[in-house]
Structure 1
Amino acid sequence: MKELSELEPLFESRTIKPTFEYVHVLLSLFIFGENSEGIGRYRLKEELQIGSGTAKSLFKKLKDVIKFIMVPSEGKGSNTEIQRRGHVLTEKGYKFLTKIKKKIPLLEKANLKFLKEIIIDLENGNPYFCLVKNAAKNIKDGIEQRDAAIKINGSGATCLIYNGKEIYFPTKVNNLNEREKVNQDTFDYFKTQIDNANVKFEPNDVIIIGSGDNPQKSRLATLNAALTLL
């Protein structure tokens, strides 16, 4: 994953190997990006479903090792009130997140109403979905992505490929007529969500739908599955 090479110093240690994964780092940056006023360690711990010690280590490394986050008071024109709100992205962190978002521009909660044919366990789905740009060539049958979702304590993940006209499930079948397509309502739903996010929906884009016991696990499952395509 050459896109993630800047994060490698976070995992270098002469003693104890970090207990967080790449997906925790990436999701933390997405969350920091959504909270420009700042976010604290406790809330991020809950969002990432990690322990206090792991969260403390992640914060420290993001701040001191790769300098992706800072306490606002360390910047110009800050005050104590802002500092209490937590950490924010530095310019370096923002630039990295912008680069990642060119590949994964959308990560949001999905509406179960339009996913009844895709999500098996509707009651415990809590689905999220993301869009991975121009990644169809990196996907085979979706099993690797499902396994990545389960590895991070999600329930699973489903991949869909857009060919410019239709959204279909990945398969080894080359005959376009034999590929299983999503229904029109599901197609319209994803097309609308992507358009509303001001993102171009283009041929060879991949949609990943992740699920888990709670929304936080679903979001982690979705993003970890997406990382297999980078």
Structure 2
Amino acid sequence: MFEELDTLFQSPTIKPSFEKVHVILALFIFEENKDGIGRYRLQKELLIGSGTARSLIKKLNEIINFITVLDDENKKKGHVLTKNGMNFLKRIKQKIPLIEGGDPSELEDIIIKSEGFNPCFCLIRNASNKITNGIEQRDAAIKIGGVGATCLIFNGRDLIFPSQIISENEKDQMRVANTTFNYIVNLFDKKNSQLEENDVVIIGLDENPEKARLAALNAALTIL
């Protein structure tokens, strides 16, 4: 799915210090900023260094032609998605239609010590068969610097925690409470992203909201 990005990481000398999650999140950010976004803003959004941001922008522009400099004399210069970039992101969003921050106070029944942390939701379409127990996704979130990640599966009726074996007595314990479920559904509805059977919801967590977003997306990439 990400073959077009492979050339970004090819180098005869030093391997780029950005990762695939930074590239994909950058495309989401460029789409959100249709008036253009500059290197310094992108650096803060992705939590990367100045040199890394410069390298990422240069490669996205010159190697795979996913972004270009905004050509508008009346606006401050910044980069925007090209047609190639928009088409690639469109394919990504067929699988990941939503990356959105949330309210930690609404998630106290599913996230231990949610106070002081920022959750970020990532919706992945039709990926429940790629989830086992959520440990791989949690590890991916931690690897990118987040505190962790929680995975939920929509079975067509409820959001449940992933488990390969669930007895009848355990089913209620694996189900997310109605108040939390309704909060998530309403949050997604506001972004025109309704839950569908076999969808996966990943909640990245960190004190820093940008890092929580990276954690959620990096966890999501493990099941694509």
Same fold (TM over 0.5): yes
Stretches of structure 2 that go unaligned for 5 or more consecutive residues are none
Match of 2:56, SS?
helix
Distance 2:77 2:28 in 1: 17
Mean alpha-carbon deviation: is it higher for 123-132 or for 39-48? 123-132
Distance 2:180 2:70 in 1: 42
Q: CA deviation at 1:101?
A: 0.5
Q: CA deviation at 1:175?
A: 3.6
Q: CA deviation at 1:52?
A: 0.4
Match of 1:127, SS?
strand
Match of 1:33 in 2: 31
Distance 1:119 1:125 in 2: 10
Q: CA deviation at 1:196?
A: 2.1
Match of 2:82 among 90, 102, 108: 90
Match of 1:80, SS?
coil
Q: Is the 8 A contact 2:105 2:114 kept in 1?
A: no
Mapping of residues 159-178 of structure 1, within 5 Å: 159-175=151-167, 178=170
Asked if 1:81 corresponds to 2:74, the answer is yes
Over the matched positions of the two proteins, sequence identity in percent amounts to 55
Mean alpha-carbon deviation: is it higher for 141-150 or for 124-133? 124-133
Match of 2:119 among 107, 112, 127: 127
Match of 1:129, SS?
strand
Match of 1:187, SS?
helix
Match of 2:31, SS?
helix
Match of 1:56 among 54, 57, 80: 54
Distance 1:175 1:127 in 2: 30
Q: Runs of 4 or more off by more than 6 Å in structure 1?
A: none
Q: Is the 8 A contact 1:119 1:125 kept in 2?
A: no
Match of 2:12 among 10, 14, 21: 14
Give 1:165's aligned amino acid.
Answer: R
Asked if 1:208 corresponds to 2:208, the answer is no
Q: Is the 8 A contact 1:124 1:214 kept in 2?
A: no
Distance 2:211 2:105 in 1: 20
Match of 2:74, SS?
helix
Q: CA deviation at 1:189?
A: 1.0
Match of 1:76 in 2: none
Match of 2:118, SS?
coil
Match of 1:137 in 2: 129
Distance 2:90 2:52 in 1: 25
Distance 1:81 1:153 in 2: 39
Q: CA deviation at 1:177?
A: 5.2
Q: CA deviation at 1:85?
A: 3.5
Offset from partner CA, 1:102-126 (integer Å, 9 cap, x none)? 1000100011121001222323321
Q: Is the 8 A contact 1:69 1:93 kept in 2?
A: yes
Query: How large is the Cα RMSD of the aligned pairs?
Result: 1.2
Distance 1:176 1:12 in 2: 50
Aligned residue-pair number? 222
Match of 1:155 among 141, 147, 154: 147
Distance 1:89 1:142 in 2: 33
Match of 2:66 in 1: 68
TM-score by length of 2: 0.96
Offset from partner CA, 1:102-155 (integer Å, 9 cap, x none)? 100010001112100122232332110110000100000000000000000000
Mapping of residues 106-121 of structure 1, within 5 Å: 106-121=98-113
